[in-house]
Amino acid sequence: MRILFISMVPFEDNSSATIQNKGIVEGLYKCENEVDIMTLMPMNNSLGYDDSMDNVKSFVNNVYYIEVDRKYAVLRTKKEKLNNEELHIKNTEYRTNIINRIYSKIRVIIKNLYKNIAIFDAQKVNVKGVSKLNIDYSKYDIIISASDPKSSHLIAERIYKKNKNCNARWIQYWGDPMLNDITRESNWRDRLVKYNENKLINEANKVVYASPLTLKIQKETYPRHTCKMDYTSQAYTNINSMYRSKEKNSNILVGYFGAYNSKIRNIKPLYNVAKEEGFMLNICGASDITLKCTKNIYVTGMISYRKAVEMEEKTDILVCICNRRGTQIPGKVYYCASYKKPIVVILDGEYEEELGDYLNSFKRFILCKNQEQSIRDAIERAKKQLDKGEYYISEQLTPEYVARKILKNI
């Protein structure tokens, strides 16, 4: 089949959404489909720009880029990435140029205002740019739009609205839902958010979520559309790491690689256990809190995808932390599954029992609660697994299985 895969996130962006999308595209290709991709034009001055992420083009025929709207420069959340010389010049200009100061304050006000009144993410301003692309949409059998961000689905919606010759079936893949997204604060916009989400779901031929628990809640929220809803796990990344045997009594290296905003994930119990037990721990990821480095704990911010893979390869035990609330499972849990090493998943939130039952079905992860003693016990179990070197990988985590599940009954 001819498939157009749409995401507002460029494949050069260092984010979990990019890794999610890579797994889907790889699976579509390996299932013998012809795939084109459409994304926003990558911005190499963005803090998240990482050209080591973009190895997906070997799986696709054509790449289409949507131009970045000038208004998005004001609304975008990520800061620019500057070298030292540019940073010095920018700081000098800022100190001496009153216009820059005024502009900066106005920009913050506009961003906060948009954040507090908008229904969709700031990427929505880029959607109309798809109309500038000269594409024959009649050649496609299927169009897949993937979020986050949610505005990715608005691109597909505009394509269908403006191109009456487009008869492709529309599949929406939701990494996170809209109304039930744990990162969204409930407020006066709830009805509008629900209206817009329902409108998008209504227009799709099929809607796929990333976990069975999210599927259950979405079916309860939108009962009229249950027949078109399904779920699939995310795919592991194509990593073929060799098994690394560990000498007896040698100190293990544990690694946490991912964001840990304190409102979303609680990393403190893991940090405290490492301090007390003395095992080596690397923590790499963006956060709103500051953790101190110690003699056995190394803490740094977001690193490149290439650097993260290098550090993960050298790690003995990988740790993933589930969200404080909600039904979504961090993509990192799945991405790491092909590593030949133990993976400890720290459960949390009001659905930790249900999440535990689901993750146990893969027979791949060592599960524990987000409590210090439970984490200690899990690390000990991981050490024993290190000695055996036996790691089962479920077929359900392969890119091909994920792609087949997305395309099923379409």
- Give the lowest-confidence range in 40-49, 324-333, 392-401: 40-49
pLDDT at 241: 57
Give the list of residues 6+ apart from residue 405 with CB closer than 8 angstroms, or none: 208, 230, 232
- Residues 149/151/157/158 CA torsion (nearest 10 deg): -130
Q: Dump pLDDT digits (tens) for 232-281.
A: 999 998 655 555 556 655 689 999 999 999 999 999 999 999 999 999 99
Encoding tokens for residue 316? Answer: 């003995």
Q: Dump pLDDT digits (tens) for 50-98.
A: 776 667 889 999 999 999 998 887 767 555 554 555 445 555 555 556 7
* DSSP, residue by residue, 124-154: GGGGGGGGGS---GGG-SEEEEEESSTTHHH
Encoding tokens for residue 223? Answer: 């009962």
- Tell me the pLDDT of the chain averaged across its residues: 90
Question: Do residues 311 and 284 touch, judged by C-beta distance below 8 A?
Answer: yes
Question: Do residues 324 and 266 touch, judged by C-beta distance below 8 A?
Answer: yes
Angle between helices 190-203 and 152-162 (to 10 degrees): 50
Query: How far is 4 from 297, CA to CA, in rounded Å?
Result: 44
- Give the lowest-confidence range in 30-44, 106-120, 192-206: 106-120
Query: How far is 63 from 50, CA to CA, in rounded Å?
Result: 18
pLDDT at 82: 46
Encoding tokens for residue 277? Answer: 């037990």
Give the list of residues 6+ apart from residue 217 with CB closer than 8 angstroms, or none: 177, 180, 327
